[in-house]
Structure 1
Amino acid sequence: MAELSRRRLLGAGAVAAGGAALGWGAGAVTGRAAATAAPGTVDFHGAHQAGIATAPQAHTTFVAFDLRPGTDRAALVRLMRVWTDDAARLTSGRAVLADTEPELATAPARLTVTVGFGPGLLRAAGLEGSAPAWLKPLPPFAIDRLEERWSDGDLLLQVGADDPVALAHALRVLLKGARATATVRWTQRGFRRARGTEPEGTTMRNLMGQVDGTVNPAAGSADFDALVWCEGAEQPWLAGGTSMVIRRIRMDLDAWDELDLPGREIVMGRRLSDGAPLTGTAEHDEPDFAAAGPGGLTVISEFSHIARSRSADPRQRFHRRAYNYDEAPSGAEISDSGLIFVAYQADVEAQFTPVQQRLSDSDMFNRWTIPIGSAVFAIPPGCREGEYLGQALLSLR
């Protein structure tokens, strides 16, 4: 009964908002790099959803959903209203309406909630014609060994925080709000080093020990804005939003153990100690792919990971936000670990797919990594107070 009462309350309060978001462009509110309303909080409302340009938290969980049969647009609007209200409260350190554990909401630890839409959601809403061309599964790559239990989905939640208790509470609240509309398809939990372990801005390391994500557009920069945020030229409702590609990549750490340090650095094209390219002295030095070493061979192999991920086309870039995962091993394995690789870009087909194709074709690193999950979602823009996430789409006529 408490859940039903909460839905009635939110529904009554939101009717007046109607299609107000339709006239609000991405330029109406400035972007967010790590905007905070108070210590330990990240603003929920704004032109863009939080959790993308926000400095990555120590813990993030991704949950994909399948919509229940018969779910229609009205049901989706109700869910988005509930999630929007819940997320706004939780990220500001306030308990949600009818919260059964309100004490757990008081320390949000930079909690963010990000919502994504899969192709199935637009079909359920009768809005297939409003889907961007890239909102579909990625093309097959030769290196893929995809498993259904880690792939696709109609709806996505990305919930991040520096504290696992805050994250667990927020997830439980949001899952309770969705149970009449959707069922969980898959859940992926990722982590980085605890906040404060390293100086702010330090590039993360994956579980192979590599500095992971050196070449990344800086949040809040003009470069970031141009690469990540949709302008809405193809689909106006996406102005201020973006796309998300999420790939679950299993790392064969047991086989990686058998490769010596020089071999690892040749594969990556970077030093393991500090992430510097093999032709440089510091992590962010520009690699010299033409530099030759003894014997005339190039210092950085054309088949190294760093070389295969580069393009002469500056548009073939995106913002990455990766997390480690580590599951309980089975049998003779020592580890079941890898990377939850998340990429945000304005256009998947123009930016992400060409890079992934080059890596698939001839990256030496493929010997130790196996993509086992893949999904693509549209991330709608943020919202103002009194509006709900996805309103510009779900109020289309």
Structure 2
Amino acid sequence: MSQRVSRRGFITGASALAGAVAGAAAIGTSACSTEEKQSKDHVVDFHGAHQAGITTKQQDRLHFAAFDVISDSREDLADLLQTWTEMARRMSKGELAEPGAMEEVGQASVPGDSGEAYDLPASNLTITVGFGPSLFDQRFGLASAKPKELKDLPHFAGDMTRAEISRGDLCIQACADDPQVAVHAVRNLARVGTGVVEVRWSQLGFGHASATTKGQQTPRNLFGFKDGTNNVKAEDQDVLDQYIWVNNTNSWFDGGTYLIARRIRMLIENWDRQVLREQEATFGREKRTGAPLGAEDEFDALPLDASDEQGNPLVPLDAHSRLASPVENSGHHMLRRAYNFTDGSDGFGHLDAGLFFIAIVASPEKTFIPIQSKLAKKDKLNEYVRYESSSIFALPPGLKDENDWWGRTLFEQTA
């Protein structure tokens, strides 16, 4: 049997194959070609100048996890990153987490794959890895190569951050169109990391709350508004080069970027008691269409200089869309990959739900921090949200071929 066993392929026995062929003959098509087409349609290329899962068409589900490294061995860390890369490369193709994971596994042996995604396609799975500021301390000899803007984010006005769901040495972002595929990816990477890393915190997300390609419809957040109408798209190459990708550092980080993660609790019950006029003034957009107040289409420019008959701005001065607009922030853009979340109810019967906000920028100091500082002080939306976590990670550049691995150039630069 091949060392690369597909999740679908390993369950295919002679009887199953015979049934599939008979069924295919009955409808005049080939079962094999259908499987191949499905595989091709649901696989995202793992290699490239930048990691997959950044400008990739945003998938519907997220499993994000941050890890602490509990070993002080540089060799252990490098070995784990190589192992993670090999496993992620396979899982992104819809294969088992480890080669031969189901071949001749004895009853007293531990399977090399947890099994919950055996019969599922790749589901556009992307696995993206990042390095936190704390990874560049004195433990692993990486301090000299720490990116200059990889620093814990400042405390913003109104932040109620919790240490237990913030920061971390490493992060894994797994996105897929099937939640079981995303969970399977993080689960198996965490499993093989036992003794080297431990999970610090994690977050599940659903119903992607931003669009990263022009072909995607703008999704809605849990407040019912279209979210990220003017998000940077994969097709905006000039914007990506200027505001998203790190360039010209002459280091391992060229081609990488910074990921900022913030868990934003939405005060759903408070919001649901507000009249429509109040809700639309908070966002500066119509709830049904997503159009800016005073405009007709979702993608019309914000009429920031327009006023009503009483002289009041059509888009209020404290509206979220105004304060976050590139026009109001010296033209700076950020790439959003946000997800909705709900974690049941809290002890008071309130829905524990909101937005797991992911922002990707080339310069946190020039882009994210100034924008968030302004929002923290002036945004009317602050009446209805609570910022509960704060993390930043450096995402290394993409992998060039089958022999490359996450962090290779970082370890070579600090050898």
TM-score of the pair, normalised by structure 1: 0.86
Which residue in the other structure is 2:261 paired with? 246
Which residue in the other structure is 1:351 paired with? 367
1:66 paired to 2:68? yes
Question: Gaps spanning 5+ residues in structure 2: where?
Answer: 1-37, 102-111
8 Å contact kept, 1:37–1:43: no
Which residue in the other structure is 2:230 paired with? 215
Distance 1:189 1:232 in 2: 35
1:1-397 alignment, distance < 5 Å: 38-68=40-70, 70-95=71-96, 96-97=98-99, 98=101, 99-101=112-114, 104-105=117-118, 107-123=121-137, 124-192=139-207, 200-222=215-237, 223-233=239-249, 236-310=251-325, 311-383=327-399, 384-396=401-413, 397=415
Distance 2:409 2:113 in 1: 32
Mean alpha-carbon deviation: is it higher for 199-208 or for 214-223? 199-208
Deviation readout 1:160-213 (Å, 9 max, x if unpaired):
11012212222221111211211110011111169xxxx951111111101111
- How many matched pairs? 356
8 Å contact kept, 1:247–1:372: yes
Q: Secondary structure at the match of 2:387?
A: strand
Sort the Cα spacing of 1:318 and 1:257 in 2 relative to 1 into closer, same or farther, 3 A. Answer: same
Report how far residue 221 of structure 1 moved: 2.3
Report how far residue 120 of structure 1 moved: 1.8
Deviation readout 1:200-239 (Å, 9 max, x if unpaired):
5111111110111111112132212322111142x61111
Distance 2:383 2:115 in 1: 48
Distance 1:330 1:172 in 2: 26
Sort the Cα spacing of 1:43 and 1:308 in 2 relative to 1 into closer, same or farther, 3 A. Answer: same
8 Å contact kept, 1:232–1:238: no
Distance 1:90 1:342 in 2: 23
Q: Secondary structure at the match of 1:295?
A: coil
Q: Secondary structure at the match of 1:157?
A: strand
**Amino acid in structure 2 at the alignment position of 1:73:** R
Sort the Cα spacing of 1:101 and 1:364 in 2 relative to 1 into closer, same or farther, 3 A. Answer: closer
**Amino acid in structure 2 at the alignment position of 1:158:** Q
Report how far residue 72 of structure 1 moved: 2.7
Deviation readout 1:73-121 (Å, 9 max, x if unpaired):
2111101110110000000111123333568245110011000000122
8 Å contact kept, 1:125–1:394: no
8 Å contact kept, 1:207–1:324: yes
Structure 1 segments, 4+ long, off by >4 Å, are: 311-315
Distance 2:113 2:258 in 1: 34
8 Å contact kept, 1:315–1:351: no
Sort the Cα spacing of 1:305 and 1:100 in 2 relative to 1 into closer, same or farther, 3 A. Answer: closer
8 Å contact kept, 2:125–2:181: yes
8 Å contact kept, 2:58–2:208: no
**Amino acid in structure 1 at the alignment position of 2:195:** A
Q: Secondary structure at the match of 1:359?
A: helix
Q: Secondary structure at the match of 1:236?
A: coil
**Amino acid in structure 1 at the alignment position of 2:348:** A
TM-score of the pair, normalised by structure 2: 0.82
Deviation readout 1:105-138 (Å, 9 max, x if unpaired):
4511001100000012222321212112211111
8 Å contact kept, 1:50–1:113: yes
Sort the Cα spacing of 1:193 and 1:185 in 2 relative to 1 into closer, same or farther, 3 A. Answer: closer
Sort the Cα spacing of 1:193 and 1:227 in 2 relative to 1 into closer, same or farther, 3 A. Answer: closer
Aligned-residue CA RMSD in angstroms?
A: 1.9
Sort the Cα spacing of 1:352 and 1:120 in 2 relative to 1 into closer, same or farther, 3 A. Answer: same
Report how far residue 330 of structure 1 moved: 2.7
Report how far residue 140 of structure 1 moved: 1.0
Report how far residue 315 of structure 1 moved: 4.7
Sort the Cα spacing of 1:364 and 1:108 in 2 relative to 1 into closer, same or farther, 3 A. Answer: same
**Amino acid in structure 2 at the alignment position of 1:363:** D
Sort the Cα spacing of 1:268 and 1:312 in 2 relative to 1 into closer, same or farther, 3 A. Answer: closer
Sort the Cα spacing of 1:193 and 1:118 in 2 relative to 1 into closer, same or farther, 3 A. Answer: closer
Sort the Cα spacing of 1:326 and 1:294 in 2 relative to 1 into closer, same or farther, 3 A. Answer: same
8 Å contact kept, 1:227–1:315: no
What percentage of aligned pairs have identical amino acids? 37
8 Å contact kept, 2:61–2:177: yes
8 Å contact kept, 2:43–2:125: yes
**Amino acid in structure 2 at the alignment position of 1:91:** S
Mean alpha-carbon deviation: is it higher for 119-128 or for 84-93? 119-128
- Structure showing greater radius of gyration is 2
